[in-house]
Amino acid sequence: MPSPVEIVRRFRRLRALVIGDAMLDTYVEGSAGRLCTEGPVPVVRKTGEEQVPGGAANAAANVRALGADVALLGVVGADPAGAQLRAALRARDVDDRWLVEDAGARTLHKLRILADGQYVVRLDDGDTYHLSPTSEARLIAHLDQLYPDCDVVFVSDYVYGAVSDGLLARLRALRAARPGVLVVDSKALRRFDGLGATVVTPNREEARLLVEAGSAAGDTAGRPALAEIESVGRRLLGVIDARCAAITLAGDGVLLVERDDAALHLPAHPVQRAHDVGAGDSFAAALALALGAGARAAEAVRIGIEAAGVAVTRPRTVIVHHQELLRRVALGAATPPPVEALATRLAEERAAGRRIVFTNGVFDLLHAGHVEFLRQARALGDVLVVGVNSDRSARRLKGARRPINRERDRLALVAALDAVDHAVLFDEDQPATLIRALRPHLHVKGGDYAGQRLPEAEAVRAVGGEVVILPLVGELSTSRVIERIVALTSGAGR
C-alpha cells in the first residue's frame, strides 16, 4: 500500500466532481462598545467584511486547494449573492461555469455578524427548493458531461434542492455503468440508497435519526458508547447500500464502520479551541480524494481527520491547502520509510524509464535556498530522492549543539516539499551506503562542493551514476541563519 504521504501527493493527479448546495458565507466584523437605545442589543461598528464559498462550494474549494481539479455542480440565483459566490469561487481557482443559474431561485446565503470576535447573529437567506424543469435538465446535462472524466464524486447535500430526485436518478444510472469512488455527506441519506456509495459521512445524531435509534446511554465520561454507535452504523448500512459509514464524533474523531470488517475508532487530535465551521467539508474532501488516490477506507479517514485538524484551528469557513495536509501527514508518520522498500520502489521507476535524482543534507532550518536547490535538482530528472541526516550524524557533522530540529521534523518538512518525491533518513556521515542501495542516475550537490572530492563519488560511479554540481542559490545558509538568530536574541537581551 502507498504511504499516506504518497496518497496525498497523488491528489494532484485527480479530477473530482462536487455536487450539492452551493452557498455564500459572509462575515461582517465589527466592534461593540454600547447597547442600542432601541432595544437590548449591541451596536456593532463595522470594521470589515468577507465573502467566502460555503456548503458544497466550500467543499469544492477544499478539493481544489488540496490539489485536485474540481467541477462544482449546483444552483445559484440571478442575484448579487450569486455573483459574489462566483467571484469567491474564481478567487480560489474553482471553475464556476457548471453552476446553473435559475431565475426563480435565490442564492443560498449565510450572513454572520461578529462583534470583537463573538457571534451576534446569523441571517440565512435564499431558496433553491423549487428548481424549474429547465434548470434540472441543465444540471443533468452537466452531470452527463462531467461524470465520465472524474475520478471522484463528492455529494454535499444540505437538502436545499440542488440534489433533486431527477439528478439522483441519473447519477444512479451513470454509476451502474461506471462505478467509482462516491462520498456522500447528506442530511437525508435514505435518498442515496441504490447508488452504492463508497463512504457516507453522517455525524452521530444524523446516523441515529436515520435508523430511528433514539437516545442512548452515555459512558462514564458522558460520551455515547462506541459500541452503541457501531450498532447504529451497522443498521445504517442495512438501510442504504453504502460500503462504509464514517460516523463523525466531533472532538472524539470518527468511527469507521465497514460492511465486511470490524469497526475502527480513529481519534482526532485535541484542539484547545476548535472552530467547526466548514471543518466537515475539509474532512470529507480529503477523505474522498484519498479514496480516489488508492487509500483504503481507514487510511482515507485518517487523512480526512488530519485535514479537519488543520481546519478547526482557524475561525470562519476555511480551506485546507495541499502543502498543509502533506506536511501534517508527513509529521504524523510513525516511522521513516525503510530503505529496502524505497529501493524496490525506485527499481520499478527505473524499469519504467524514469530518471532518478538523489541529493542529501541535514536540512536543519529549511530556507528558500534549500527549496530552490531542490527544485533545480528535481528538474534534472523524473524522481527526486532526498537523504536526510539523522540526529546522530548531524551532531557528528555540525557539532554538539546541532541539529536545532529533530530528525522526525526535518524529514517531514523535506518530504512535504513539492519538488521532493521521496525523503529517507540515513545515519552515516556520508550517503555512500544509501546511494549503493538506491542506485540513482544523478547525485546532485550544491556549488559549495565545487572542486572538492566527494567521499560518496566512488559509490555514485559504482552504480553507474553521475555527480552534478549546481550553482549556489543566493547567500542563505543554515549556519548564517542560526548566527543571525543568536545575534538578534543576544541584542534583545541587552
Give the active site residues: 281
CA distance 258 to 236: 11
Give the distance, in angstroms, between the CA of residue 137 and the centroid of all CA atoms in the same chain. Answer: 33
Sign of CA dihedral 12, 15, 20, 26: positive
Q: Where are the beta strands (DSSP E) in 104-206?
A: 106-115, 118-127, 152-157, 181-186, 199-200
Residue keyed to cell 457571534: 119
Contacts of residue 29, Cβ cutoff 8 Å, sequence gap at least 6? 46, 47, 48, 49, 50, 114
DSSP lists the bridge partners of residue 358 as: 385, 443
Contact 85/53 with Cβ under 8 angstroms? yes
CA distance 461 to 366: 30
Residue keyed to cell 527526486: 384
What are the backbone angles phi and psi of residue 314, rounded to the nearest 5°? Answer: -120, 145
Closest CA to 126 of 110, 139, 138: 110
CA distance 79 to 22: 14
CA distance 362 to 394: 6
CA distance 308 to 298: 15
CA distance 60 to 72: 6
What does the CA dihedral 234, 186, 173, 162 come to, rounded to 10 degrees?
Answer: 170
Residue keyed to cell 446535462: 141
Question: What 3-state DSSP class applies to 455?
Answer: coil
Contact 449/469 with Cβ under 8 angstroms? yes
